[in-house]
Amino acid sequence: MPTALEQLFIKTKSENRAALIGYLPAGFPTQKESKLIIKAMIDGGVDAIEIGYPYSDPIMDGPVIQAASEQAISNGAGVDEVFDLLKKSVGHGVPSVVMSYWSPIEKYGSAKFAAAVSTAGGSGVITPDLTIEESELWRNQAKNESINRIYVVAPSTSDERLAKVTSECSGFIYAASLMGVTGARTTVSGNASALVDRIRSSSTTSVAVGLGVSNREQASQVASYADGVIVGSAFIKVIQEHGAGRSGLKKTKQLAESLSEGVRSGR
Amino acid sequence: MANDKVLQSMESNILGHFGPYGGRFVPEALIAALDELSAAHISAQSDPSFQAELLELHKTYSGRPSILTDAKRFSEYAGGAQILLKREDLNHTGSHKINNVLGQALLTKRMGKKRIIAETGAGQHGVASATAAALFGLECVVYMGEADTKRQSLNVARMKLLGATVVPVTQGSKTLKDAINEAMRDWVTNVETTHYLLGTVAGPHPFPTMVRDFQRIIGVEARQQVLDLTGRLPDAVLACVGGGSNAIGIFHPFIDDKSVRLIGLEAGGSGIETGLHAATISGGTPGVLHGTRSYVLQDKDGQTIESHSISAGLDYPGVGPEHAYLNDIGRAEYRPVTDDQAMYAFSLLCKSEGIIPAIETAHALAGALEIGNELGKEAILLINLSGRGDKDVQTAAEYFGMPL
Catalytic residues of B: 97, 119, 386
Question: What confidence tens digit (pLDDT) does each residue in B171-211 have?
Answer: 888 889 999 999 999 999 999 999 999 999 999 999 999 99
pLDDT at B341 over 80: yes
**Average pLDDT score over residue span B257-277:** 97
Using the beta-carbon criterion (under 8 Å), do A102 and B33 form an inter-chain contact? no
The whole-chain average pLDDT of chain B stands at: 95
Rounded to whole angstroms, how far apart are CA atoms A44 and A38? Answer: 10
Across the A/B interface, how many CB contacts are shorter than 8 Å?
113
Residue among B28, B171, B177 whose CB faces A165 most closely: B28
| Percent over 70 (pLDDT), chain B | 97
Q: Residue A181: list chain B partners with CB under 8 A.
A: 185, 188-189
Using the beta-carbon criterion (under 8 Å), do A179 and B303 form an inter-chain contact? no
For B21, the 3-state DSSP assignment is strand
pLDDT at site A190: 78
pLDDT at site B1: 38
pLDDT at site B7: 45
- Taking the CA of residue A154 and the nearest CA in chain B, the distance in Å comes to 5
Distances (CA, A) of A142 to A118, A148, B52, B84, B144: 9, 7, 50, 54, 39
Residue among A105, A128, A133 whose CB faces B23 most closely: A133
Question: What confidence tens digit (pLDDT) does each residue in A13-29 have?
Answer: 999 999 999 999 999 99
pLDDT at site A90: 98
Residue B49 makes CB contacts below 8 A (sequence gap 6+) with none
Catalytic residues of A: 50, 61
Question: What confidence tens digit (pLDDT) does each residue in A172-204 have?
Answer: 999 998 888 888 777 777 789 999 999 999 999
Residue type, A236: I
A62 touches B: beta carbon within 8 Å: yes
pLDDT at site B12: 43
Residue among B24, B29, B288 whose CB faces A156 most closely: B29
Rounded to whole angstroms, how far apart are CA atoms B66 and B89? Answer: 9
Residue among A57, A62, A108 whose CB faces B289 most closely: A57
A74 touches B: beta carbon within 8 Å: no
Neighbours of A84 (CB within 10 A): 18
pLDDT at site B11: 41
Question: What confidence tens digit (pLDDT) does each residue in B83-93 have?
Answer: 999 999 999 99
pTM: predicted TM-score of the whole model, two decimal places: 0.95
pLDDT beneath 70, residues of chain A: none
Classify residue B253 by its DSSP letter. Answer: G
Pick from B36, B288, B316 the residue to mutate for testing the A interface (most A CBs within 10 Å).
B288
**Average pLDDT score over residue span B294-304:** 96
Classify residue B307 by its DSSP letter. Answer: P
Give the residue, B5 or A103, on which the prediction is more confident: A103
Q: Tell me if the bond preceding B317 is cis, omega within 30° of 0.
A: no
A70 touches B: beta carbon within 8 Å: yes
pLDDT at site B2: 44
Q: Residue B293: list chain A partners with CB under 8 A.
A: 106
Question: What confidence tens digit (pLDDT) does each residue in B149-169 have?
Answer: 987 888 999 999 999 999 999
Using the beta-carbon criterion (under 8 Å), do B27 and A128 form an inter-chain contact? yes
Residue among B27, B293, B300 whose CB faces A154 most closely: B27
Question: What confidence tens digit (pLDDT) does each residue in B343-382 have?
Answer: 999 999 999 999 999 999 999 999 999 999 999 999 999 9
Chain B nearest-CA residue for A151: B28
Classify residue B30 by its DSSP letter. Answer: G
Rounded to whole angstroms, how far apart are CA atoms A33 and A240? Answer: 12
Q: Residue A59: list chain B partners with CB under 8 A.
A: 26-27, 181, 184-185, 188, 290
- Taking the CA of residue B184 and the nearest CA in chain A, the distance in Å comes to 6
Q: Residue A107: list chain B partners with CB under 8 A.
A: 287, 298, 300-302
3-class DSSP string for chain A: CCCHHHHHHHHHHHCCCCEEEEEEECCCCCHHHHHHHHHHHHHCCCCEEEEECCCCCCCCCCHHHHHHHHHHHHCCCCHHHHHHHHHHHHHCCCCEEEECCHHHHHHHCHHHHHHHHHHCCCCEEECCCCCHHHCHHHHHHHHHCCCEEECEECCCCCHHHHHHHHCCCCCCEEEECCCCCCCCCCCCCCHHHHHHHHHHCCCCCCEEEECCCCCHHHHHHHHCCCCEEEECHHHHHHHHHHCCCHHHHHHHHHHHHHHHHHHHCCC
Question: What confidence tens digit (pLDDT) does each residue in B111-142 have?
Answer: 999 999 999 988 999 999 999 999 999 999 99
pLDDT at B264 over 70: yes
| Percent over 90 (pLDDT), chain B | 91
pLDDT at B4 over 80: no
Rounded to whole angstroms, how far apart are CA atoms B98 and B75? Answer: 28
- Taking the CA of residue A228 and the nearest CA in chain B, the distance in Å comes to 19
